[in-house]
Structure 1
Amino acid sequence: MDKLCHNVMFTYIIVYETPVYGLHHFSLGVWGSPELLKSPLKKPKWFDGLHEKQPLTDLDTVILAINSASAAKISFDRLEGSKRYCGKTFLVWTLGQILAFFIASLSTMFYIILQFFHCILSFGSQMWMYTAAAKAFSNASVHMRIRCCQILYWPVVLWDNDLRSQSSVEYAEKAALNRHSMWSSLAVDVFLGHVIGLVFLFYAESINLWVLNFASDLTNELLRSGCVWLMGVPAGFKLNTELAGVLGMVSLNAIQIWSTLWAYVGPLFIYFIKGLAIWAILFGVTVPASLLIDTILIVTFHLSTLHWLISILYSQQLYTLAALWRLFRGRKWNPLRQRLDSYDYTVKQHVVGSLLFAPLLLLLPTTSVFYIFLTIMNTIISLTCILIELIISLIHATPYIKIILWLVKRRRFPSGIWFEIVTCSNNYIHPPESSSVDGSSSHFEGNMSATLITILHGNFLSIGQIVLPHYRKVFSAVPGSYFPTAAFGVLTGKRIASSLGVTFPPTMPWMSIPCKDYWFLCHNSILACFADI
């Protein structure tokens, strides 16, 4: 009887490129936006038998070890000191010194100017004029505070003081992108501000003439003509002459008052355009854009006031008609239980309700046409402000540094791994045959070796997967029922908010340190970036 013994030896070789900071690394999931999986409420039957199975290899630990190997070597090289600067050319070092000196001096100049204006505003913050101006220009003050914090804190954010980022290439990549996101957003904002500001300066006369003509056409051709048309027989509807005359005269008087004020302010509007251009050049495009929102709300204050008055009249008229209709049905609204209950009304109550219901119902069309007209105008103004707010939020939220790096080197944004099988072979090794002298059976022993060689590759994120998480964060504060609520508010006589309520960059405490220390902070932050090259 022959005996065959096999010794199985399995060899698994994984070939991968060593992760290097600034080149590539590996990641299992979507990098930077992990998705949390929700466990089901009721566990299935097979869940109880999972502990009996052999646990799989923890790929997170393996990937972390791979990403940490090169980072540990770089950390040891940094401890040696002189090694990091042996390969640097004199040109790069000189360029870093010049750029650091220039940027540090420019930032210090802005720092001195901001500190000067901050002292003046702090001194006058108790005055009523400051409070009124802060309420009137609330959007501009918020974005000006954001921009000032970005100018003050960019060297602090750029300075690499995170010890955890040195332990892994993946952590180093994320920390670097977080550090460079602020100054890249600031640089793009200022660049757009320079482009738009120069256009506004060169074409200030043309823009001013267009705005004056637009304001004149809006006042004369649309508002005045619309009110006069509503006071007659609009679209063949027979309205109440007295109520239409009162509403029309109130609207015409408010429009005339605005036209008189605009006649004095209009010739000075060109200086406002040039001021917007200068603000765009100095602070970027988002600050004058937010100031433009406040300016639109101020110059259309007469329309907002008229819409507010007619919305009160319209909503109260609808509320009264609904209450009288419940009276005829023998129902009464219970505010505690939030439901309709039966109620026995008296004859006098029915008579008074009938006397009130008829004139209110007949006057409703007259109120409705004025409400619809002013609501359309106010909605256009609100949508314009919301559109500008969306543009500002997208400028703040767009990850410019990630987009640039994705275009240059996509491997820095991994998303999952996969293995390319290079070779898979099974080798059988048999020793020489031997037989015994007495003719007994032979013994064979064999070894089987299996070799699997694979190459570790990584998938990469698309441009949409990089940008969309940042945009979702912007709209995270906007409720999902915003548009249905706004539509219901328009039908019931409520005003539409001129702001969508998106998320902007957070403001930070005001920084107050000596100018010399701030200059050295900016200078060292720039040199620290050149030290990683």
Structure 2
Amino acid sequence: MFNTIILHARSRSCVEYAEKAAMHRHSMWSTLFVDILLGNLVGWPLLHNSESICLSIVNFTHGFSTFLRSGCVWLMGDPAGFKLNAELANVLGIFSLNAIQIWSTLWIFVGFITNYIIQGLAILGIICGFTAFAAMIIDMIVLATLHVSILHRLISLVYSSQIQALAALWRLFSGRKWNPLRQRLDSFDYTVKQHIVGSLLFTPLILLLPTTSVFYIFFSITETTINLICVLIEVIISVIHATPYVKILLWLVRPQRFPSGIWFEICGSRSNVSPEDGVTDEMNSSKESVHLKDFNRKKSSILVSFLHSNYLSIGKVSLPHYRSVLLGVSGSSIYKVAYGIVIGKRMQSLRGTLLPSPMPWMSLPYKEYWCLCHDSLIACFR
């Protein structure tokens, strides 16, 4: 008897595993088909209208460079009525303008081959699918805005150094010292010379902080906007990968494959009543759903009901798959990114964390992957 139960459980698990494996296999092929289809829908119009799109990209690049230049010039003056340090503002502004001008000059040479780049992207989308095309678009955006990222990193380095220095000087004035071993603030007696030196350093740092802050805020907003655009494109890629096309097709053809509980429909009952009650036997011909407790068990002897099954809606079928799209994004990660922006730390990118890879070998480092391939080949020859 025990062996029979074990065999039944094993056969049931094998059936479940076979069904999941078949569903996963069909999902891979359906995702590949939809990816290629979307790539052709986007690639062919892009290939036929490459010249007009190239002109639009060149105009947008010129407008973006003009926006950065005008923003730096505005920050070098009195932005929003704030009185900044003119010398530091001129140094940061001239450095930013030179970097923007150098990058714009380099992109003039890229403008001659922009048409070929667009045609190459269109052909890539037609052959490899929409996700490869979208991933290449993300790389192109990151490459085109590399100067903004470099300027943001450099200015954030200056800003974070000022914040850390001001925090250390504030601890000096309050008589505390950071204990790195216990990760806490301990009381400490500073000398008079240390207080004097701290006062001399605190004054220029606090006066120069607004000038550094406005440049840091400007480039942080620009960099965050660029990252959000890249994250939005990656969300689209993740949605394409996560959509259960096979389950949606099965739900449209046979919704019985997705049951969600059962319920009874009471059609009628035959009651046995004594003559004293003055009521004759009758059959309820109308179909209506009622609970069993509404019937008098003492008088009812026959109960007619039908068994029905509920089906999952299209939202309940696909929603569990979409939950994994933002699996790498949580409240703590958003808080860390926001806190890092405020204190001037390096902004943690959310790209690449939205959808866990369904293929286990795609999450391995390339060295480990090739080592496993080498060991597998050696094992086959042995």
> TM-score scaled to structure 1, two decimals?
0.58
1:189 aligns with 2:35: yes
1:319 aligns with 2:164: yes
**1:16-55 aligned within 5 A:** none
Q: Secondary structure at the residue paired with 1:457? A: strand
**1:222-261 aligned within 5 A:** 222-261=67-106
Listed as ranges, the gaps of 5+ residues in structure 2 are 274-298, 362-368, 371-382
Q: Give how far 1:228 is off.
A: 1.3
Structure 1: distance between partners of 2:14 and 2:310: 24
Q: Give how far 1:380 is off.
A: 0.8
Structure 2: distance between partners of 1:480 and 1:163: 42
Q: Give how far 1:416 is off.
A: 0.9
Q: Secondary structure at the residue paired with 2:177? A: strand
Structure 1: distance between partners of 2:325 and 2:158: 36
Structure 2: distance between partners of 1:508 and 1:482: 24
Structure 2: distance between partners of 1:504 and 1:299: 27
Q: Give how far 1:337 is off.
A: 2.6
Q: Give how far 1:360 is off.
A: 0.3
1:499 aligns with 2:350: yes
Structure 2: distance between partners of 1:350 and 1:496: 34
**1:212-291 aligned within 5 A:** 212-220=58-66, 222-291=67-136
Q: Secondary structure at the residue paired with 2:182? A: coil
Q: Tell me how many residue pairs correspond in the alignment.
A: 331
Bigger Cα displacement from structure 2, 489-498 vs 203-212: 489-498
**Maintained 8 Å contact 2:325/2:355:** yes
Structure showing greater relative contact order (alpha-carbon pairs closer than 8 Å, 6 or more residues apart) = 1
Structure 1: distance between partners of 2:11 and 2:137: 43
**Maintained 8 Å contact 2:159/2:216:** yes
Structure 1: distance between partners of 2:58 and 2:145: 14
* Structure 2 CA distance for partners of 1:166 and 1:487, relative to 1, 3 Å: closer
Q: Secondary structure at the residue paired with 2:264? A: strand
1:208 aligns with 2:60: no
Q: Secondary structure at the residue paired with 2:260? A: strand
Structure 2: distance between partners of 1:206 and 1:165: 57
Q: Give how far 1:270 is off.
A: 1.1
Structure 1: distance between partners of 2:173 and 2:196: 10
Bigger Cα displacement from structure 2, 205-214 vs 241-250: 241-250
**Structure with higher helix content:** 2
Q: Secondary structure at the residue paired with 1:332? A: strand
**Maintained 8 Å contact 1:385/1:499:** no
Q: Deviations over 1:428-451 (max 9, x none)?
A: 9xxxxxxxxxxxxxxxxxxx9954
| Counterpart residue type for residue 318 of structure 2 | V
Q: Give how far 1:381 is off.
A: 0.7
Bigger Cα displacement from structure 2, 496-505 vs 407-416: 496-505
Q: Deviations over 1:437-470 (max 9, x none)?
A: xxxxxxxxxxx99544432211111111111100
Q: Give how far 1:408 is off.
A: 3.0
* Structure 2 CA distance for partners of 1:337 and 1:488, relative to 1, 3 Å: same
* Structure 2 CA distance for partners of 1:467 and 1:259, relative to 1, 3 Å: same
Report the equivalent of 2:255: 410
Q: Give how far 1:260 is off.
A: 1.2
Within the candidate set 317, 322, 338, 1:466 is matched to 317
Q: Secondary structure at the residue paired with 2:190? A: coil
- The structure having more radius of gyration, on CA atoms, is 1
Within the candidate set 228, 236, 239, 1:394 is matched to 239
Report the equivalent of 2:284: none
Q: Secondary structure at the residue paired with 1:418? A: strand
* Structure 2 CA distance for partners of 1:241 and 1:508, relative to 1, 3 Å: same
Q: Give how far 1:494 is off.
A: 2.0
Q: Give how far 1:243 is off.
A: 0.9
* Structure 2 CA distance for partners of 1:449 and 1:249, relative to 1, 3 Å: closer
* Structure 2 CA distance for partners of 1:166 and 1:493, relative to 1, 3 Å: closer
Q: Secondary structure at the residue paired with 1:476? A: coil
| Counterpart residue type for residue 466 of structure 1 | V
Report the equivalent of 1:334: 179
1:477 aligns with 2:328: yes
**Maintained 8 Å contact 1:219/1:255:** yes
**Maintained 8 Å contact 1:385/1:498:** no
**Maintained 8 Å contact 2:235/2:325:** no
Structure 1: distance between partners of 2:149 and 2:340: 16
Task: Indicate the percent of aligned positions where both proteins have the same amino acid.
Answer: 59
| Counterpart residue type for residue 397 of structure 1 | A
Listed as ranges, the gaps of 5+ residues in structure 1 are 1-60, 66-161, 429-447, 512-533
> TM-score scaled to structure 2, two decimals?
0.80
